[in-house]
Chains A and B, each alone.
Chain A
Amino acid sequence: MEAASITETASAPPPARKVGDILNAYALPLLLFGALVAQFIYEPTATLDNVKTGLSNGMVWALIALGYTLVYGIVELINFAHGEVFMIGAFVSLSLWQTFGVTADTGLALIVVSIVVFLLLAMTASATLNVLIERAAYRPLRGAPKLAPLITAIGMSFILQNVGLLWRPTPDQVPDLIGSHSKYFTVFDVDILHSDVFAVIITVPLLVALLWFVNTTKHGKAMRATAQDPDAARLMGINVDRTISLTFLLGGAMAGAAGLIYALYNLTVRFNMGFTAGLIAFTAAVMGGIGNLKGAVAGGLIIGVIQAVSDGGNFLGLPLGEEWTPAVVFGILILVMVFRPQGLFGEETREG
């Protein structure tokens, strides 16, 4: 609707935007940013430290959020089982380390090789799982009322969570291969840890590769076309079913990578870690504008910072803390959903 009206009046000069409009459109991002600045003035060092933790933690959320946003962009479905795909990715990588007996005492070269190889294996496992989920639970319901695939998604999520429960009934320790909590260097009184560097080193290339794939390759073009209009894409000779499978494959691979990073970052995995992670990542995807890939990454980082600041406790004198963090994140999710359903950055793009 909006797009149509814009093209009609394209020749006329755009009407000057009033200050009020801009404030309305950016009230929520400004509010969040303003709160962060205020907190920075209130407690400079602690806030910087929280922002750093949030950004590196947010890398994981960004990777998971990409899976949500890709899938939602193309089939308009909240893949509730996505968090569980992430959990399985973490479980697979831990099992691989356990099977091959890789521990913190193994030589550096072997550790690096194991991380790279197992990263690929975890990504493959999660990607395959995600494709299978689509085949079993979503494809039979294409064209059914929207409620139906949402329900099967929840069903799938519960099934996988219980598979995880049978696999590892209790929280498991991950071997500390990268010396997660040891210090690398210090900037502005903020300690940069091994885990922070590790998260950035693995995530950034993956994000760049995914964006390149979707934006420039032929398959990426097919994905964007299917997201815009599946029927028209089909008429243009695009195999829509295969494109949808490819989307689930990519999303699953990102979740698998996120699982491995999360395992080495937090050094503990449990069967229900996917549920919360999934909801947080979904919040990130919604924040960035669902269907918007760069937005999902930005949303992941923002949510990471919000979480870290809330975890830090004292927010402008308000006694927050870890026990309040889920409520804070979900509260912000509600605010975004109700006031900015198109996302913080305001573009209504799909797969762009």
Chain B
Amino acid sequence: MTDLRTRWGSFTRVLPPTAWMLAALVAAIAFPLLIGSGDLLDASIQTLAYVIMALGLNIVVGFAGLLDLGYVAFYAIGAFVIGWFGSQQFPNVNGGKGIHILVSDRSTFQPKLDGGRLDIAGIHINFFIVIFIAMAITALWGVLLGAPTLRLRGDYLAIVTLAFGEIVPRIFENSTSGLFGIGSTDFSHGRQGITPIDTINLPWSHDILYTDQNLKPAYWVALGMVVFTVFVNRRLRDSRLGRAWIAVREDEVAAASMGVNLVRTKLWAYAIGAAFGGFAGVFLGSYNNTVNVDQFEFGFSVFILAMVIVGGMGNIWGVIVGAVALSMMNRYGLPQLNNLSGPLGFDVTSISFGIFGFFLLVMMVLRPEGLIPSGRRRLELHESEIEGAEEAAAVGDMSQMYEVRQ
């Protein structure tokens, strides 16, 4: 095993890490050209969005060690922001003429038969502007939802975040005539959700970027977003803030006594993690062409958490591998399996969460550090294992003594 590891190490060291990264990037860019438009490309696009969310959650769970079971709340907020700013959800805005900022012609007007133009109602803002609006809003909500949890640790923190994850979609769902019964604006269309949503277009272009027949540009946009996320994640991890996160994760008291501001450090983790959830949420909202409360279930939070854990908490590359593996399995692998499994007599996709549950269980029992753990994390886990072994040995001696005395 060690032999293999060193050999693999010398193999990877043939080229500098930057070269490997560039090679992976080139492969990722060329990927859609090789496979053409189809189910696989659609699955890959969704996967890229999940990679962003997994990396965002990794900041909260992997770097700062704050277990968040309600990450879906930020996906919901991000998706609703594009729903509000990229659809006909608010038909009375601007006297029914709508607001249009740098969006495609298709979202701006309908041509009339006599050559005139009929304005499309609602707020329509360019996707690339909405992204930043959504990131700001979700970061703010990350802080607001994170603030009450600052005193909590472990299980209690997990439950409070879970509760937020359940409350936020309910608030969206029920705000069909005003928020909490105040006012009469419809924010969500209830269970039906908001649809259709504007397709992405470049700010200087009058045409939409992609169509259902040619999804490749959507893939590249998503890939660009992933590259941005990875870049930010890497820079953050190595920054002063990133080191503070890891210090807080390992020992809060020690970190605080070394001068780390716990409140600010944790709130930054929540804010930045949430912002990436919104970032991916905007893309998924636009790409799926619908924002629907049914998408925002507890299972989704666990799905993303599973990516982080299976890949290796705290390790950016591990999390990417975990996200790609689980998401491709869910979006592409299981449906394919389904075509083969007629004799099984049931829909394999319907129990996909059960299969994930099984993976989580096996993974935690056999390899709690994940596929590609961060070196520090592996040390932490082994340290406790060694301590546990010593403790067990000591207790074993005692029980032997007890038996002798009997």
Contacts and interface: CB of A to CB of B under 8 A. Distances in A.
A140 B309 contact: no
Given A143-B392, A330-B166, A154 B357 contact: yes
Interface string A108-139: 00000000000000000000000000001100
A-B pairs with the 6 shortest C-beta distances? A162-B354, A158-B357, A155-B360, A143-B388, A155-B361, A330-B163
Interface stretch (A25-33, A34-42, A300-308, A321-329): A321-329
A78 B155 contact: yes
A235 B401 CA distance: 10
B116 interface: no
Interface in A266-285: 275, 279, 282
Contact of B181 (A143, A154, A319, A333): A319
Interface residues of B, number: 52
Interface string B374-386: 0000001100110
Interface stretch (A85-93, A99-107, A189-197, A334-342): A334-342
Contact of A141 (B299, B309, B364): B364
13 contacts: A141-B368, A143-B384, A147-B67, A148-B364, A151-B364, A152-B360, A152-B365, A162-B351, A323-B170, A327-B171, A334-B160, A334-B167, A338-B160
Contact of B158 (A150, A157, A279): A150
A275 B398 CA distance: 42
A145 B381 contact: yes
A187 interface: no
Interface string B382-406: 0011001001100100110010000
Contact of B354 (A144, A148, A163): A163
Contact of A158 (B152, B162, B354): B354
A166 interface: yes
Nearest to A325: B170
A313 to B, nearest CB: 12
Does more than half of chain A's interface fall in helix, strand or loop, or is it mixed?
Answer: helix
B67 A150 contact: yes
Nearest to A327: B170
Contact of B167 (A144, A152, A331): A331
B151 interface: yes
B402 A237 contact: yes
Interface residues of A, number: 50
Interface in A246-280: 275, 279
Does more than half of chain B's interface fall in helix, strand or loop, or is it mixed?
Answer: helix
B265 interface: no
Contacts of A231: 395
A326 B381 CA distance: 37
Interface centre among B156, B302, B357, B365 (most CB of A within 10 A): B357
B384 A151 contact: no
A337 B149 CA distance: 9
A183 interface: no
A145 B384 contact: yes
B167 A150 contact: no
A243 interface: no
Nearest to B177: A319
A151 B298 contact: no
Contacts of B384: 143-145
Contact of B346 (A166, A286, A327): A166
A159 B361 contact: yes
B170 A324 contact: yes
Interface centre among A78, A147, A235 (most CB of B within 10 A): A147
B353 interface: yes
B259 interface: no
